[in-house]
Chains A and B, each alone.
Chain A
Amino acid sequence: MDKLISEYEDKLPRKVIDDIRANLPKGINQAKLKKIMDKALGEYENAKVNAGESVGIIAAESIGEPGTQMTLNTFHFAGVAEMNVTLGLPRIIEILDGRKEIKTPIMQIRLKAPYSKGKDIKEFALSIKETKLSEITTEFSISLADSEIEVKLDKEKMKSLNLTNTNVVNSISKQLKGFTIKDNKELIILKSRAKEEALNEVYKAKEKIKDIHIRGVKGISQVLPVKRDDEFIIMTSGSNLSEVLQIDGVDSHRTTTNNIFEIQEVLGVEAARQAIIEEVFNVIENQGLNVDVRHIMLVADTMCVLGMIKGITRYGVVSEKSSVLARASFETPIKHIINAALVGENDTLNSVVENVMLNQPVPIGTGVPKLVTKKK
């Protein structure tokens, strides 16, 4: 019996076969099973999209129509800490345009036990947060006579972050060259090694040391431990997937970010495709709208066919079209036509837009089949 079912594995999707397997009555005979399988296959073939159907237009309409109902500028404040996340139409545009810099990058860091149970979660979260020198100091001053920079440390803040003077001195000496550093308990004094240091340079250095990285992951500006279901996770604003995945205690298999380009870089195109689908679908669902995932899948697939994310813009997928007329009909027509004329580009009129422009039948639906005659 299993043999008969497995014959259909190439023809039917996995889900249908699993459903049939689970719901078969006991002791069914071969002939009846064959009938069931054939019937299922027939139904499945019927449900498939026909060849030549213009799925792209249908997807565009299906996403676009509910999209008009989305409020233009929706901001959502999640929870008590008021972490700001871009949602709604701006977010969808951001994803589909394939923007590299997104407005509000956030990460969801999943943790391994014991942190996921809530042990030391605050300390753990703080160790991920990026700490700069300016955050643990009360004062930067320049003594004009000796052209030295004095950095006054905030002892209380340092205590809460578990930092010592040596930690700070070490990070400064690593990231700032050409200065001798003296640790004076309350003060850290930086003196330039250059003999005749212009005061101007000292001023510049003073601004520079404010940004010195002391601890944590670069780019993570805010952390917030929250309880989701049965485990604690850390939400962050700011994102740095590759660094966070390497921290001990982070569950590197379930930690995600909302920056699809970062996902592409660290986890690959396939993961990026999956992330696009999930992000877009979540936004649409959050707004209480109902769009079939298949439409979003199609869009995500087009964005990822080339092995890297291309936005739906004139620089992205549209620039990859082979037809000059199709490219010109989207945006910046004159640029495309002039360039095509300069290099003598050919247009084979294989697609839709160019044929519409020339008042010819378009290769869609019944326009696909062509008459072929045999040469004699």
Chain B
Amino acid sequence: MKKKFTVDKHILIPKHTKLGDKHKEKLLEKYNISITGLPRILKTDPGIKSLGAKPGDIIKITRKSQTSSEAVFYRVVVDV
């Protein structure tokens, strides 16, 4: 009766992708912040389980937005 549930496809979860190193630097430069200035996401978050992200990685989140149909958001992976 029990089966594996793939969390990624739930309607509430927006698309999560891991940023490469190049994009990472570009992003921090664009907003003129250090990596600690970004909003955080826990390493154990179900949304990034399949990405295998390590602390210090930046996750790009493409949200469906009511106001602009698509909005991009960034979070940095942290330990607890």
- B residues whose Cβ falls under 8 Å from a Cβ of A: 1-3, 5, 7, 9-14, 16, 39-42, 45-48, 61, 63, 66-71, 75, 78
Contacts and interface: CB of A to CB of B under 8 A. Distances in A.
19 contacts: A14-B70, A15-B67, A18-B69, A247-B1, A252-B5, A256-B11, A266-B46, A269-B47, A270-B14, A270-B41, A270-B47, A271-B10, A274-B12, A274-B13, A293-B66, A297-B67, A306-B40, A307-B75, A308-B42
Contacts of B75: 269, 307
Interface string A254-276: 10100000010111111100110
Contact of B45 (A14, A253, A269, A301): A269
Contacts of B1: 247-248
B47 A267 contact: yes
Name the residue among B7, B10, B11, B67 with the largest chain A CB count within 10 angstroms: B10
B40 A267 contact: no
Contact of B47 (A15, A268, A293, A301): A268
A246 B2 contact: yes
Interface in A339-353: none
Q: Is the interface of A mostly helix, strand, loop or mixed?
A: helix
Given A13-B69, A267-B12, 13 more contacts: A15-B67, A245-B5, A252-B10, A253-B10, A256-B12, A266-B46, A267-B10, A270-B13, A270-B14, A293-B67, A304-B39, A306-B39, A307-B42
Contacts of A267: 7, 10, 12-13, 46-47
Contacts of B48: 268
Given A15-B69, A306-B40, A270 B5 contact: no
Contacts of B69: 13-15, 18
A16 B68 CA distance: 8
A228 interface: no
Interface residues of A, number: 32
Nearest to A242: B5
Nearest to A247: B1
A268 B66 CA distance: 20
A268 B68 contact: no
Nearest to A263: B12
Contacts of A253: 9-11
Contacts of A245: 5
Given A18-B69, A268-B46, A269-B42, A307 B78 contact: yes
Contacts of B13: 267-268, 270-271, 274
Name the residue among B12, B63, B67, B70 with the largest chain A CB count within 10 angstroms: B12
Nearest to A268: B47
B76 to A, nearest CB: 9
A305 interface: yes
B3 to A, nearest CB: 6
A294 interface: yes
Contacts of A256: 11-12
A142 B40 CA distance: 57
A83 to B, nearest CB: 22
Given A268-B46, A268-B47, A268-B48, A307 B5 contact: no
A307 B40 contact: yes
Contacts of A270: 12-14, 16, 41, 47, 61, 63
Interface in A285-304: 293-294, 297, 301, 304
Contacts of B70: 13-15
